[in-house]
Structure 1
Amino acid sequence: MSTEDGERSGRPKEVATDENVKKIHKMIFKDSKLKLNKIADTLKISIECVYHIIYEYLGMRKLCAKWVPRELTFDEK
């Protein structure tokens, strides 16, 4: 009898994969007014994970109903 867990099938532990980050970035680039629940429904992941990817990995935040980078350049302001 072993006390170690074997490999399990199912969802990956980490949802913030490079593939998901790229997909979300591409979706936001096409439509900056996209809502979190629309992205979550499309990618079949939770809204919290989508928000985490956008905020932490892409460095964006919602401003006037659009996703924009947190640090704007002088020309963007």
Structure 2
Amino acid sequence: MDKREFRLRGEMSTEDGERSGSLKEVVTDENILKIHKMILNDRKLKLNEIVDILRISTECVHQNIHEYLGMRGFV
């Protein structure tokens, strides 16, 4: 993870987290908060960057942004 990803995730630890080869398809309060924090920290952040950082599907990120955060102008 580079410095940008570390900052965007709001990580406080340098320990390796749980890893999985597959993308998660869940909408959780935790993911909604993480995505909101990431967007507020970097308004130029791209959808695919969020997908890569959080390891959740594009559809899930899109749903979090548009339905749960009400951010209509974000792509």
| TM-score normalised by length of structure 1 | 0.61
Q: Which has the larger radius of gyration?
A: 1
Which residue matches 1:73?
none
What is the root-mean-square deviation in Å for CA atoms of aligned residues?
1.8
1:14 positional shift:
6.0
Gaps of 5+ in 1: 1-10, 68-77
Question: Which residue of structure 2 lines up, in the alignment, with residue 49 of structure 1?
Answer: 60
Match of 1:32 in 2: 43
User: Which residue of 2 is the match for residue 20 of structure 1?
Assistant: 31
Note the residue ranges of structure 2 that are not aligned, 5 or more in a row: 1-21
Structure with a larger share of its residues in helix: 2
Q: Percent identity?
A: 65
Structure 1 segments of 4+ aligned residues over 3 angstroms from their partners: none
The whole-number CA distance in structure 1 between the counterparts of 2:42 and 2:27 is 21
Residues matched between the structures, number: 52
Higher share in strand: 1
